[in-house]
Structure 1
Amino acid sequence: MPRQTEIYWSWRNVDFSMIGERIKDLRIARGLSVRDLAALAKVDKNTVLRVESGKPVTYKVLHRVCECLNTVPPNLTTGPKAGKEKPIRIHRHDDRKWIITFNMKGSKTGLPDFSLVPDQSDRTFFWEQQYVSGVLQSHDCALAGGRLQAAVLEVFMPMHKGASHAGEEYVYCLRGEVKVTIGTEATVLHTGDSVTFDSSLEHNFAPVDVEAGVLPPQILMVWIEGAASDYSPSDLN
Structure 2
Amino acid sequence: MPDSLGERLREARTKRGLSLRSVAQSLGVSASLISQVEIGKTQPSVQTLYALASHLGVSLDELVGLPAGPAPEDTKTPEMFGHSGPALPDVQRGAENPVIEMENGVRWERLAVGAGGPVDALLVTYEPGAASSVEGKLMRHAGVEYAYLLEGELTLHIDFDTHVLQPGDSLQFDSVRPHLYSNQGSVPAKGVWFVFGRRQHNQSMRDAPVVSSAAAVGSASAPGSAVDVLRAMDGL
TM-score range, shorter chain: 0.3 to 0.5
Structure having the larger proportion of residues in helix:
1
Q: Which has the larger radius of gyration?
A: 2
TM-score (norm 1): 0.44
